[in-house]
Structure 1
Amino acid sequence: MEKSLKERVLSGDRVTGRLHIGHYVGSLKHRVELQSQYETLVMLADVQALTTHFDRPELIRGHLFDVALDYLAAGIDPEKSFIFVQSMVPEIAELTVFYSMFVTVNALRHNPTVKAESKGSGLDEMYYGFLGYPVSQAADITFCKATIIPVGEDQLPHLELTRKIVRRFGELYRPVLVEPRAVVGDVPRLAGLDGHGKMSKSQGNAIALDSSREELESRIRKAVTDPARVRKDDPGHPDICPIYSYHEAFRPEGAAEIRESCTKGTIGCSGCKKLVAAAIDGLLEPMRERRAFYEQRPERVKEILLAGTDRARELGKETMLEVREAMGLDYFFR
């Protein structure tokens, strides 16, 4: 896996549940493409999962293996990428503490992503860890000096704060950190099966990557469509129908035809759903095969995570030596 590349990619997910097709379209597909070009680290963000699941750590433990399988099934190649466990890299926690000394509470309170996520978190109060999520994320990105961060538009405020932290660290001490840049994929936003907002595992309106063909077809069959269409030949409104967004994502070559047929009322919702279900099933079938391979080899999955975490720690130690020296905290190692 030796790569003499200057650029390094970091991505990851909070391990709060199995991933779904919205994750694949929004980020996983892009990560799979990038791993052949750059050194790629993929993080199982178990510490960040504690921001909303601190009282149920046993759930995180159970989800860790599931999300790792999702990565491998989606095409993250352990020969090209390092998959690592966030909590097993103490250098990330150390950097988080250092950064928190010069990031103001106001900057965190006014972060639009924190505001939006706090509304949907279900928490009665704003906890320190939740408020400081962007600081932790800055440590995730900078501990390994990642230069490329694949993100959705909703995560851009977090990344901008990371860039500010890097610059501020350089002003206060010495510029030893790397300022990352965002890579925002031009992908359609997948609506939830219930038609309420985006597809989300917490809302139960998603199609999991490990869905069987029967589960997939059942979920699509029950999905909400255009409420104005009562009869098959009623004119439809594709822009408000979740199923049409799936055509754009998984059948882009046929999306224009579906739009025209729906608008004219020449295709019914049932036929429309069958077409998109077949396309998604074609995507998931090779994932099922890869998942089955690794499910039967749990020790191999453990080896992959340990190897990835070893690499992450190696990078973290190198960065922290420079950080401590820049801050004058290398008391006995000058």
Structure 2
Amino acid sequence: MRQEPGAHRVLTGDRPTGPLHLGHYFGTLQNRVRLQHLGVEMFVVVADYQVITDRDVADRLAEHTENLVLDYLATGLDPDRATIFAHSAVPALNQLLLPFLSLVSVSELNRNPTVKDEIAHSRQSAVSGLMFTYPVHQAADILFCKADVVPVGQDQLPHLEVARTVARRFNERYPHADGTPVFPRPEGLLSAAPLLLGTDGTKMSKSRGNAVALAADEDTTARLIRSARTDTERRIGYDPVARPEVSSLVLLAALCQDRRPEEVAEEIGDGGAAALKRTVTEAVNEHLRPIRARRAEFAADRGYVRQVLRDGAERANAVADATLDEVRAVMGSV
């Protein structure tokens, strides 16, 4: 990708269910900005339709959508170089779902470990059809623009494998007349920190209330980090297997300071959990200070945020319409 950035297209995005947090930032957002600077073509979807996969209603959807775009802009995504759009604003994208669903079996969907985990933590008493088919919706998100690279966290790799399966089976069943495939098989791109733990020691998540939001003020950040779980051992070390909570905090400080986690742990030494949390708080607030300042500037002009979404939808619709036309042609349904 460094050698030929223009030969690649990336699809990435998030559901607008609340503010993005440090797990998003180090898990995928930094990769997105890095790829954008390399010159890779970037599509960023605000997956508003997918909000209702694990909840009954899409609460405060417009507000969350705009706030998500603010987080994108603040962390460095440039709407002149990245197509930022809302899922619901691109009808042709969603029409790909029907032929894609015909390419996967119920048993394959039922085995997806990420869906199982999301169902376990959902707010619904029963599993909706939308939740069950969520990976195929994501396949449509990825393949409508023929993305060949998807920045993901470790936990999202099963979803990506469904997209790869859909692409392969569609190409086998409906190739072009000359035998060339319609879709690429997208590859996952993992960051240096694919999984950060939340303050309760489980995966950092918006829905679990255990995350430090990028937009949080410095006092809130300090309070949340003080509440983070550690252990009873006084000497701070970096051992993600034996001491996951402590190691996650050490890693967070190291990422913010662009240092090795072993070096951070050695520096804190016998200072214990209190010293560790002070170090993490200072590192996080220092790293996020310019990001939060940019976010405040963009937030003062909501009209600009909405224009970013309008421009992105126009570009995404042109791509989705062309892909749907191609799909109809090879399926013989024109």
Say whether the fold is shared (TM-score over 0.5).
yes
Map 1:159-308; keep pairs closer than 5 Å: 159-174=160-175, 175-187=181-193, 189-195=195-201, 197-226=202-231, 228-229=232-233, 234-236=234-236, 238-239=238-239, 240=243, 241=246, 242-253=248-259, 255-260=261-266, 265=270, 267-308=271-312
2:135 partner letter: P
* Alignment check: 8 A CA contact 2:237 2:266 kept: no
> In structure 2, what is the equivalent of residue 75 of structure 1?
76
Structure 1 residue 274, shift from structure 2 partner: 2.0
CA contact (8 A) 1:20 1:209 kept: yes
Match of 2:104 in 1: 103
User: Within the alignment, does 1:59 sit opposite 2:68 as a pair?
Assistant: no
CA positional deviation for 1:127: 1.2
- Between the aligned partners of 2:21 and 2:83, the Cα distance in structure 1 is 21
CA contact (8 A) 2:27 2:191 kept: yes
Quick one: structure 1 residues 107 and 282, their matched pair in 2 at CA, closer, same or farther if it must change by over 3 Å? Answer: same
Where does structure 2 lack aligned partners over 5 or more consecutive residues? 176-180
CA contact (8 A) 1:163 1:179 kept: yes
Q: Please give the residue correspondences for 1:30-41 in structure 2 after superposition, counting only pairs within 5 Å.
A: 30-36=31-37, 37-41=39-43
Shift of the alpha carbon at 1:92? Answer: 1.6
Structure 1 residue 67 displacement after superposition: 0.8
Alpha-carbon shift at residue 169 of structure 1 (Å): 1.0
Deviations 1:231-255 (A, max 9, x none): xxx4445542142232233235263
TM-score (norm 1): 0.90
**In structure 2, how many angstroms separate the alpha carbons of the residues matched to 1:92 and 1:142?**
9
- Aligned pairs for 1:73-152 (under 5 A) are 73-152=74-153
Q: Specify the SS of the correspondent of 1:259.
A: helix
CA distance in 2, matches of 1:6, 1:244: 37
Q: For the Cα contact (< 8 Å) 2:27–2:190, is it kept in 1?
A: no
- Equivalents in 2 of 1:4, 1:153: separation in Å? 23
Name the CA distance, whole Å, in 2 between partners of 1:70 and 1:299.
Answer: 15
Choose 135-144 or 96-105, whichever is displaced more: 96-105
Moved over 4 A (4+): none
In 2: Cα distance, 1:328 partner to 1:61 partner:
38
- Residue 180 of structure 1 aligns to which amino acid in structure 2? P
Q: Percent identity?
A: 39
Contact 1:258 1:272 in 2 (8 A): no
Match in the other structure for 1:48: 50
Distance in 1 of aligned mates of 2:31 and 2:251: 18
Q: Distance between the aligned counterparts of 2:184 and 2:260, measured in 1?
A: 43
- Cα 1:282–1:145 change in 2 (3 A) is same
> Which secondary structure does the structure 1 equivalent of 2:192 belong to?
coil
Superposition CA RMSD, Å: 1.9
Using the size of structure 2 for normalisation, the TM-score is 0.90
**Distance in 1, Cα, partners of 2:235 & 2:10:** 46
Structure 1: give runs of 5+ residues left out of the alignment.
Answer: none
Task: Measure how far apart 1:316 and its partner are.
Answer: 0.3
2:93–2:324 contact (8 Å) kept in structure 1: no
Say yes or no: does 1:25 pair with 2:26.
yes
For residues 148 and 4 of structure 1, the distance between their equivalents in structure 2, rounded to whole angstroms, comes to 11
* 1:273 CA drift (Å): 1.9
Distance 1:137 1:221, change over 3 A: same
SS at match of 1:84: strand
* 1:322 alignment partner in structure 2: 326
Rounded to whole Å, the distance in 2 between the matches of 1:178 and 1:121 is 32
Q: Aligned letter for 2:285?
A: D
- Separation in 1 of the partners of 2:154 and 2:296? 33
Counterpart-to-counterpart distance in 2, 1:43 and 1:180: 16
Kindly indicate whether the alpha-carbon contact (under 8 Å) linking 2:237 and 2:262 is maintained by their aligned counterparts in 1.
no
DSSP 3-state at the match of 1:83? strand
Cα distance, 1:279 vs structure 2: 1.4
CA deviation map 1:60-85 (0-9, x unaligned): 23311111111111111112211100
Q: Distance in 1 between matches of 2:20 and 2:260?
A: 26
